Amino acid sequence: MSKLRVVYIISLVLVGVLLTLVFFLPMFGGAEEYTKVQGESLIRSDNGWILQFDILNYEGKGQSYTIALSIDGELSNLAVYIPNEQAFTYVKQINRDMTVDGVVNFSIYYESEDVPFKTATYYLR
């Protein structure tokens, strides 16, 4: 067999292996580890507003989080532990007399980090 034919066959095998890895490895690879915030909503009620969201933990282990809520600059924190593959639903009633400027901020932090992975600001009217 000529050297050119051997190089050609080896290159075809390598291309086949690479294509197989590209298409099938994501299906059988390990699951991504992350935290997800979903169902974020601000609902108007008779007395004010209701802030609600879910934190889903897919980190591969139990994780502690800090939820920081600021209403017109007045800060309150809530520490919460969420087991792996579990969810926590945060619900906060914001009465009309709790806010003058109508600015509501929330941030979600991993317990040991200073930078939030999720932030949102609402302007209540």
CATH for the 34-123 domain, from 3.20.20.450, 2.60.40.10, 3.30.70.580, 3.50.50.60: 2.60.40.10
pLDDT, tens only, 101-110:
889 999 999 9
Q: Which amino acid is at 49?
A: W
pTM here is 0.71
pLDDT, tens only, 63-98:
999 999 999 989 999 999 999 989 999 999 999 888
Give me the pLDDT at residue 31, please.
Answer: 55
Sheet strands side by side (includes 63-71): 74-82, 63-71, 103-110, 118-123
**Per-domain boundaries in the chain:** 1-30, 34-123
